[in-house]
Amino acid sequence: MPVTKVLIANRGEIACRVIRTCREMGIPTVAVYSEADRGALHVRMADEAYFIGPAAARESYLVVEKILEVAKRSGADAIHPGYGFLSENAEAAKLFTEHGITFIGPRPESIVSMGSKTAARNVAIEAGCPVVPGIQKTMTEAELLVESEKMGFPVMLKAAMGGGGKGMRLVTKPEEFTSSLARARGEALSSFGDDSVYVEKAILQPRHIEIQVFGDTHGNYVYLWERECSVQRRHQKVIEEAPSPHVTPEMRKAMGEAALKVARAVNYVGAGTVEFLADADRNFYFLEMNTRLQVEHPVTEWITGLDLVKWQILVARGEKLPLTQEQIQLNGWAMECRIYAEDPDKNFMPSPGMVTFLRTPAGPSVRDDSGVYEGSEVPMFYDPMISKLSTWGPTRLEAIDKMKMALGEYRIGGIRHNVEFHKVLMDHEPFRSGAIHTGMLDKPFWKKKEQGPSLKFAVAAALMQEMEAEERRAMQPAGTEGTSSAWKQFGKFNRL
């Protein structure tokens, strides 16, 4: 299976991430971009770039035919989908393959098997992987309520085709069931086009722990330890770390072997993640399988020293996995913070706009996976991620303290962001002690701050612009000097 030129069917930091590994492997890359991404970093980094349509993803990044057309025009013989967009689209993977293009991801049938949470749950049960007790038969509302009462409240309603916390409702008592079911079904329909909902026994204050798995076309499988993603807001991951402070060596082995049972059951090829919920007694239960590279893969790369994108490409080429299970090392601890253009003081409302100033952290054991640069735009049309900041340390607390230092170096101007929120979280005692669970942020610890102008930063930025302008004027021919001054533009810095 040839992989000599890769089209990245994505944007932002993950597109940049894939381009870097391809460059290291000597593989030319092709970027695609929408109207909103004409000046995006991934477009600048790729060897070639092709316009694919309007800003709205449904008219550009999600149009399979446009991606296929660019692959043919550019001569790309492989497509890397990143995550999101087409990464778990079985029909897209099938179409690319039918046209002789290597899909750097799992087989279409594996995506289908894991695409429905109820179907995935059945696969896990048949494979001998523990699952949360639940009801997934087609039943009337009255029948579901009766069965839920038999199982015992609290229960969790979940969209069968769901993800990202959409279509989920915790029901603590029978009186809430009817209204909660209606809301869950409505949200499932609007988000996934399918209002199917199933019921599980709710695990109170669970921990979200996932296992990174890899398979090749030769029947080899390994797991690359675990990540903990329990620090969440509205079921969306905020902090990821590897390994988990909750997992013992015995639990790690049991979870890894359970995850591989699921991977083998669907003949999985490439990078995938089997997600579990764990309780306080270290019982764990299958949640779902993500048939793609995860957002949080950098923390796994930190503790293993491996390049997961490189592994994806090698496996897609038909090569065997580079290492056996016994050869995979676990070294130290890694943390990742998702840096978003959002305003913590306004209920984390997205804050798109131009990045007028950017200084990113650096130094030993610091990594910043970013898709923006100073002067670039965070568009309103997509996920407002600025970067994924990750750090490594020999121990968990050292990784946390390294993260505190890195966050302290981050400077972003022009848009609101959540860097300060992460800094406060790094000092939050329950987090530092490892006593985390998926509901820990339901009890707010963030104190709203008054958002006045940053005068020191504004003055410094204006001074810098004025000095640069003076330098340019000195180099211009006599009589051609401009009249613009950074001080005349000072008002715009009051918005930083």
Q: Per the residue annotation, which of 292, 338, 367, 396 is the catalytic one? A: 292
Tell me, yes or no, if 292 is annotated catalytic: yes
Query: If we measure between CA atoms, which residue out of 117, 213, 197 comes closest to residue 163?
Result: 117
Positions marked catalytic? 292
